[in-house]
Amino acid sequence: MIKLKILITSKLPGNWHEKVNIPGYCVIVKDENEDTREFIVRNSDQTVGILCLLTDRMDKEIMDKLPSLKIISNYAVGFDNIDVEYATKKGICVTNTPGVLTETSADLAWALILAARRLIIPADKFTREGKFTGWKPDLFLGYDVYGKTLGIIGFGRIGQAVARRAKGFNMKILYYSRGRDFQAEKDLNAEYRDLDDLLKESDIISIHTPLNNESYHLITYEKLKLMKSTATIVNTARGKVIKEDDLVRALKEGLIFSAGLDVYEFEPQIHPELLKMDNVVLLPHIGSASFETRTRMAEMAVTNLVNFLNNRPPLSVVNPEVLNI
Ligand code: NAP
Ligand code: GLV
Ligand code: GLV
């Protein structure tokens, strides 16, 4: 008898890829060098579950190649790599890993805020290159963080965790989100603004919306033009929320002071002009990249998959309608 298959598209921290053990199922882990789509297609027969990465595009075409597929467990909170609507139509359950990565991701947004405000990266490079010949009144001048106005776009788990950290910096907190969160406004002393007003009033803007139809290219040249010339924009959400060409143009024209990016419109490609700019901090999508958090995410993604296949509710389901609960 052919066993049912579970595919895992990468080894996981804490060796969680080795901890899936369900009687009647065999687990196949992709080799690092193999192309993901080839791996999936090669193993499509009898595949019931896939644990995948945010870089794995789970579209109609690939789902149609997997007639037995019942669950996609995403090793990420964001699920814009998955055609959820189509999965739902096919009765495929989609799960993700919210919550466990919130604080780690908020820490990284703050690392970018501080680095981009105070030119930490070029200053480090300068120092290593032996160019530090003595204290100077105007060496690497940035702009303050303390006491300034922080504008958060997307006031969910991570957006609010970023706001909590702003208390120690005595900041005024503004937010724009799909809806109002009156409890969080009270708890965090945050004020709602529409997007244009938030862009006009903030000194530092941090983006925390998921990528969806409404947030795609939310930030264009027209929007960047509204920002203060001394302002900083940080994006640790998804690259496609900012129109990258427009960001480059705004930075070149000096419309804003600096930017900090963990994600890119055409990831892993980065706009070549960004690579040349000293006032832009560029990170390789490492928002949740701590040992603790990546291990917790692996445990959660595995638990989602195992629970579903054992007829228990997964910890986090993106399309609960497929479970009829
Ligand atoms: P969350 O709790 O769902 O928060 C997202 C917030 O954005 C919610 O308040 C949501 O409102 C709001 N929102 C949704 N669509 C919007 C739109 N079009 N315009 C304005 N606001 C909108 O999610 P989270 O856990 O904070 O994660 C946020 C995102 O961060 C993830 O989706 C992922 O893409 C990204 N992320 C990146 C990294 C990294 O490594 N760089 C790490 C973790 C997460 P509703 O409540 O109405 O939906
Ligand atoms: C990371 O980008 C995530 O969505 O978990
Ligand atoms: C700087 O080092 C100062 O003492 O002002």
CATH number where 35 lies: 3.40.50.720
CB neighbour class for 140 (10 Å; exposed up to 12, middle 13-18, buried from 19): middle
* Whole-number Å distance between alpha carbons of 216 and 91: 27
* 134 and 224 belong to one structural domain: yes
pLDDT at position 324 is: 79
* 232 and 314 belong to one structural domain: no
- pLDDT greater than 60 at residue 314: yes
In 10 A of CB 212, how many CB atoms?
15
pLDDT (tens digit, 9 = 90+) per residue, 90-123?
Answer: 999 999 999 999 999 999 999 999 999 999 999 9
pLDDT at position 105 is: 99
State the distance from the centre of ligand 2 to the C-alpha of 102, rounded, in angstroms. 10
* Whole-number Å distance between alpha carbons of 264 and 107: 19
* 80 and 135 belong to one structural domain: no
Tell me what the mean pLDDT of segment 181-195 comes to: 98
Tell me, yes or no, whether 148 lies in a domain. Answer: yes
* 65 and 126 belong to one structural domain: no
* Whole-number Å distance between alpha carbons of 124 and 122: 5
* 29 and 175 belong to one structural domain: no
Closest ligand 2 atom to Cα of 101: 5
- pLDDT greater than 80 at residue 2: no
- In degrees and rounded to multiples of 5, residue 197 shows phi and psi of -65, -40
* Active-site pick, 103, 185, 191, 267: 267
Ligand 2: list residues with CB < 6 Å.
54, 76-78, 101, 287-288
> If we measure between CA atoms, which residue out of 50, 85, 84 comes closest to residue 70?
50
- pLDDT greater than 60 at residue 325: no
Tell me what the mean pLDDT of segment 199-225 comes to: 98
Per cent of the chain over pLDDT 70 is 99
**Closest ligand to the CA of 316:** 1
User: What confidence tier does 282 reach under pLDDT thresholds 50, 70, 90?
Assistant: very high
* 89 and 131 belong to one structural domain: no
Closest ligand 2 atom to Cα of 297: 5
The verdict on whether 267 is a catalytic residue reads yes
pLDDT at position 272 is: 98
- pLDDT greater than 90 at residue 305: yes
What residues make up the domain containing 239? 102-282
Tell me, yes or no, whether 287 lies in a domain. Answer: no
Contact 244, 214 (CB under 8 A): no
* 147 and 255 belong to one structural domain: yes
* 274 and 136 belong to one structural domain: yes
**What is the pTM for the complete model shown?**
0.97
**Domain total in the chain:** 2
Tell me, yes or no, whether 212 lies in a domain. Answer: yes
State the distance from the centre of ligand 1 to the C-alpha of 161, rounded, in angstroms. 12
pLDDT, averaged across the chain: 97
The verdict on whether 299 is a catalytic residue reads no
* Active-site pick, 285, 294, 296, 299: 285
**Closest ligand to the CA of 102:** 1
Tell me what the mean pLDDT of segment 74-78 comes to: 98
The verdict on whether 285 is a catalytic residue reads yes
pLDDT at position 1 is: 62
pLDDT at position 201 is: 99
Mutate to test the pocket of ligand 1, among 77, 165, 196, 316 (most ligand atoms within 8 A of CB): 77
* 203 and 301 belong to one structural domain: no
- In degrees and rounded to multiples of 5, residue 71 shows phi and psi of -145, 135
User: What confidence tier does 78 reach under pLDDT thresholds 50, 70, 90?
Assistant: very high
Tell me, yes or no, whether 58 lies in a domain. Answer: yes
* 113 and 262 belong to one structural domain: yes
* 155 and 23 belong to one structural domain: no
* 157 and 45 belong to one structural domain: no
Phi-psi region of 146 (alpha: psi -120 to 50; beta: other; left: phi over 0): beta
